[in-house]
Amino acid sequence: MDARRQGFFSQILEYSPLPGEMTIWKRHKLPIKAAEAVVYERLIDYAEELLLTFWPQLRGKTVSFGHLLEMGLPEDEPAFDPYS
């Protein structure tokens, strides 16, 4: 799907879904996206624990991703969506 959307194969391959394939994809799309979000959150927790375990001096210098989002983005920065 990503290759098709980005046009990666646009010069050499045209993808046509099989009959019923998109129906199946639509049925599973939301649960897949939800699972991706959970995995992403767990990876962030894992990375934070690794950093604070091996570099405890960073503890006072950390900030949550949510807090950074609350602070807002500079006008010239595009919005970051980890799930896109």
Model pLDDT for residues 36-77, shown as the tens digit of each residue: 999 999 998 998 888 888 888 778 776 777 777 777 766 655
Q: Does 23 have pLDDT greater than 80?
A: yes
Confidence class of residue 16 from pLDDT cuts 50, 70 and 90? confident
Contact by Cβ (8 Å): 65, 44: yes
C-alpha dihedral (36, 50, 58, 80), degrees to nearest 10: -20
Cβ contacts of residue 48 below 8 Å, gap of 6+? 62
- What phi and psi, each to the nearest 5 degrees, are found at residue 80? -100, 125
